[in-house]
Amino acid sequence: MKTKDLILETAKEMISQVGFHRATTSNLAKAANISEGTIYRHFESKEDILLHILAELEESFSYYIEGVRQKLDKDECSFDMIMADYFTFVEDNEVDMKIMLSTYGLLDSSKRLMAVFLKNLELILEDCIKVGIRKGILRDVAVEENSTIIMTIIFGLTRMHLYWPNQRDVRTEAIDFCRRSLLK
């Protein structure tokens, strides 16, 4: 593995486990078995490492969103599918997601990315629910409010899943929960 990727992977692991502040450059260098100076050959600053991690996550997310959008265009989309796909996305990006969730109170760029997540998910849910209502599949609920609710549920479950792994995993049941609430 290239050094840059080694640093990135080590940093991901470390930040997701002990948080950004306690993942010091000194510890990072030790864990990756490199010298501290080497970090700065590949990244401008400690924050820059985080930025790279977040950029990767943003790209992954944009793929996910694009995938959902395509399904939506082909009329193959439903809010429960969005939820299921999103849970898969989180599964595939666990470490990065934890990092974003634990740093958006610390770092503007992290907060910005989180806002992108929220906004995109909400918008796509809105579109999807609108379609569902028009088709007569979903109850005639307030579109905006209910997409916000589902989005909030999604993020609540994600966080619970990532930060409280001992907690019962109820993600599939949660989809049913929402179906009962929205399907006619």
Contact set with DNA (CB under 7 A): 2-3, 21-27, 34-42, 44-47
- Report how many residues bind its own copies under the rule CB under 8 A: 34
Query: Does position 157 bind its own copies by CB under 8 A?
Result: yes
Segment 25 to 44, residues that bind its own copies, using CB under 8 A: none
Task: Work out the angle at residue 105's Cα, subtended by the Cα atoms of residues 32 and 17, and round it to the nearest 5 degrees.
Answer: 30
Shortest Å, Cβ 33 to DNA: 7
Question: Is residue 45 near its own copies by the rule CB under 8 A?
Answer: no
According to the binding rule CB under 8 A, does residue 104 interact with its own copies?
A: yes
User: Could you tell me the sign of the dihedral formed by the alpha carbons of 65, 68, 73, 79, in that order?
Assistant: negative
**Which option in DNA, its own copies, none does residue 38 bind, with CB closer than 5 to 8 A by kind?**
DNA
Nearest to 38 by CA among 47, 49, 29, 27: 29
CA 65 from centroid of its chain's CA atoms: 11
What are residue 183's phi and psi, to 5 degrees?
A: -75, 145
Instruction: Write down the least CB distance from residue 18 to DNA, Å.
Output: 10
